[in-house]
C-alpha cells in the first residue's frame, strides 16, 4: 500500500476543532495521523512526500444538494461528469437529488444510482429518495426500504409538499426510521408566476417577483410540525432573514431542526440579475443584500448548519430564453470552494467554521463517512491553496452544462489535489 505525507500543511479539521500547522500521513486508504502531533511520527520509508509550504489540507467537501440528469437527462449531466466536476472542486462526497426521470422513489432506482456511481464516478455519490411517489405530494414512499437500500435522505428535491397532513405523516414516519426529511419550501400560490425576488429591482426590470413570504410561510408550518412530531427536519435551502429568525426560534425550542444555504445566496444578491441574465435565475431566487448579509451572519453563528452548491445543470435550450421563460438553476460543484472562501478572505466567517459547514456538518447530518481528518478515517481530503487567485472561464468547466453564476468571477482559493480513500482523483 502506498504512503503519502503532506508536510508543512495548515491542517484544518473541524471534527477535532483543529487548525494548526502540521503533517498529514495517509497509508493506503486511511489517515494515520493529521496535525502537529504527526510531526513526531517521522516520515515512513518510501513515502511520497508533498511539501505543502503553507497550503491547507482539509477534509473533502460534502455537498448535500446536487442535481444530476442521470437517468433521463444525461445531456445535462451524468453521474460521471458531475463526479469529475466535484473532484476538481475538492468535493469528495455528494448527495444526489431524486429529481430524475423517472423520479428516484423506489429501491430499484436507488440501487441503479449506487451501481452507476460505483462503475463511473470518481467521488462518493449518495442518493436521496423522494418523500412522495412521483413528487405528487400524496402517497408516501417506503422510507424504511429506501433507507435500507442506501438512500441517505428523503426530499422532494425542487418541489414543496403542499399538504400539511402529508408533511406531518412524513416527519412522523421518518422519525421511526431515524431518517432526515430535507425540504425546500416554496408556496406555489404565492410564488406563482414569480421569477426573481420581489422588490424594487424586479419592478425596474418589469419582472414578476417572488415575495420572501413564499419561503417563510411553508417553512414556519414545517418547523411547527417538526416540534409536533419530533422528526428530524432539514430546511434544505433558506434565503431570507425571516427564515433564519424562524429557524433560530425552532432550535431554541429544542426541535430537531437544521438548515442549509446555497452558496449563491451567500455570494450574490438580486442586483446581480443585471440585464435579464438567465444564469442568475435561481431557486430560491437571489434576495436583497440585507438577506445575503443575514445568511452570512446565520452561517457564522451556526443557525444555518451547512452550505451547499445547489448544483443544477441546465442546457442551452432551457437557459438561452427570455428571463421569465428560462429554467431556474445554476451549476456550482467546481466553484463552491472558491466562492465560499470569499467569506474567509473577507473576514466574515472563520475558516474552521466554513469548512465545518462545507464538510464536517453535512457528513454528520446525513450519516456519511468523511468530513474528518481523524486517524483511522478514510483519506477523503483536499489539498488547497487558500490564496491562489483564479478566474472562472466557461472553457475550463468540466460539467456538461455551463450555466454558472460565476463566469468571469475572480476567486481566491483552489483545490490542488483531491483524494478519495487514499487515491488521488484530481490534481490541478
**Is residue 110 in a domain?**
yes
**Is residue 51 in a domain?**
no
Distance, in Å, from the CA atom of 77 to the CA atom of 325, rounded to the nearest integer, reads: 21
CA-based max dimension of the chain: 68
pLDDT tens digits along 243-271: 999 999 999 999 999 999 999 999 999 99
Q: What are phi and psi of 261, to 5 degrees?
A: -135, 140
> What's the pLDDT at 1?
65
**Is residue 377 in a domain?**
no
Exposure string for 301-330, b = 16+ CB within 10 A, e = fewer: eebbbbbbbbbbbbbeebbeeebeebbbbb
Handedness of CA 20, 32, 422, 8 (dihedral sign): positive
Distance, in Å, from the CA atom of 375 to the CA atom of 378, rounded to the nearest integer, reads: 9
Return the DSSP state at 122: S
Number of domains in the chain: 1
Judge contact between 58 and 90, C-beta under 8 A. Answer: yes
> What's the pLDDT at 40?
75
**Is residue 299 in a domain?**
yes
- In the predicted model, residues of the chain with pLDDT beneath 70 are 1
**Is residue 261 in a domain?**
yes
**Is residue 422 in a domain?**
no
> What's the pLDDT at 43?
80
pTM for the model stands at 0.97
Query: Pairing relation of β-strands 381-391 and 56-59?
Result: antiparallel
Q: CB atoms < 10 A from the CB of 51, how many?
A: 11
pLDDT tens digits along 187-199: 999 999 999 999 9
Can you list the positions of beta strands (E) in 334-380? none
Q: Which residues contact 113 (CB under 8 A, 6 or more apart)?
A: 79, 96, 104, 125, 127
Which cell is 65 given?
444538494
Strand partners, 127: 96
**Is residue 88 in a domain?**
yes
CATH number at 283 reads: 3.20.20.140
Distance, in Å, from the CA atom of 235 to the CA atom of 241, rounded to the nearest integer, reads: 14
Domain assignment of residue 306, given as a range: 60-365
**Is residue 247 in a domain?**
yes
Distance, in Å, from the CA atom of 363 to the CA atom of 361, rounded to the nearest integer, reads: 5
Amino acid at each position: 500500500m502506498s504512503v503519502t505525507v503532506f508536510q508543512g500543511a495548515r491542517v484544518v479539521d473541524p471534527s477535532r476543532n483543529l487548525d494548526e500547522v502540521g503533517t498529514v500521513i495517509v497509508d493506503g486508504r486511511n489517515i494515520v495521523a493529521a496535525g502537529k502531533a504527526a510531526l513526531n511520527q517521522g516520515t515512513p520509508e518510501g513515502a511520497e512526500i508533498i511539501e505543502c509550504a503553507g497550503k491547507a489540507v482539509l477534509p473533502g467537501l460534502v455537498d448535500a444538494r446536487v442535481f444530476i440528469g442521470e437517468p433521463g437527462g444525461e445531456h445535462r449531466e451524468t453521474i460521471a461528469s458531475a463526479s469529475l466536476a466535484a473532484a476538481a472542486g475538492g468535493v469528495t462526497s455528494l448527495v444526489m437529488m431524486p429529481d430524475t426521470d423517472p423520479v428516484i422513489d423506489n429501491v430499484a432506482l436507488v440501487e441503479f444510482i449506487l451501481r452507476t456511481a460505483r462503475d463511473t464516478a470518481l467521488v462518493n455519490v449518495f442518493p436521496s429518495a423522494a418523500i412522495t411517489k412521483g413528487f405528487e405530494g400524496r402517497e408516501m414512499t417506503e422510507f424504511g426500504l429506501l433507507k435500507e437500500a442506501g438512500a441517505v435522505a428523503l426530499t422532494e428535491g425542487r418541489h414543496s409538499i403542499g399538504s400539511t397532513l402529508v408533511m406531518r405523516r412524513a416527519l412522523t414516519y421518518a422519525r421511526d426510521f431515524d431518517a432526515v426529511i430535507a425540504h425546500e419550501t416554496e408556496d406555489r400560490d404565492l410564488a406563482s408566476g414569480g421569477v426573481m425576488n420581489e422588490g424594487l429591482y424586479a419592478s425596474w426590470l418589469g419582472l414578476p417577483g417572488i415575495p420572501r413570504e413564499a419561503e417563510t410561510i411553508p417553512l414556519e408550518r414545517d418547523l411547527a410540525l417538526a416540534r409536533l412530531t419530533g422528526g428530524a427536519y432539514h430546511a434544505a435551502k433558506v434565503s431570507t432573514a425571516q427564515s433564519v429568525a424562524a429557524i433560530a426560534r425552532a432550535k431554541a425550542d429544542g426541535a430537531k431542526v437544521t438548515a442549509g444555504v446555497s452558496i449563491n445566496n451567500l455570494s450574490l444578491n438580486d442586483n446581480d440579475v443585471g440585464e435579464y441574465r438567465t444564469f442568475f435565475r435561481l431557486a430560491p431566487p437571489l434576495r436583497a443584500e440585507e438577506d445575503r448579509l443575514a445568511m452570512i451572519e446565520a452561517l457564522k453563528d451556526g443557525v444555518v448548519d451547512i452550505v451547499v452548491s445547489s448544483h443544477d445543470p441546465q442546457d442551452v435550450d432551457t437557459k438561452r430564453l427570455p428571463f421569465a421563460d428560462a429554467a431556474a438553476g445554476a451549476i456550482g460543484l467546481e466553484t463552491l470552494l472558491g466562492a465560499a472562501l470569499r467569506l474567509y478572505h473577507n473576514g466574515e466567517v472563520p475558516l474552521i467554521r466554513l469548512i465545518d459547514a462545507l464538510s464536517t456538518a453535512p457528513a454528520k447530518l446525513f450519516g456519511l463517512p468523511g468530513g474528518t481528518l481523524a486517524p483511522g478515517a478514510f483519506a477523503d481530503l483536499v489539498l488547497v491553496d487558500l490564496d491562489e487567485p483564479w478566474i472562472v472561464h466557461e472553457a475550463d468547466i468540466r460539467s456538461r452544462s455551463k450555466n454558472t453564476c460565476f463566469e468571469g468571477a475572480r476567486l481566491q482559493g483552489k483545490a490542488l489535489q483531491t483524494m478519495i480513500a487514499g487515491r488521488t482523483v484530481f490534481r490541478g
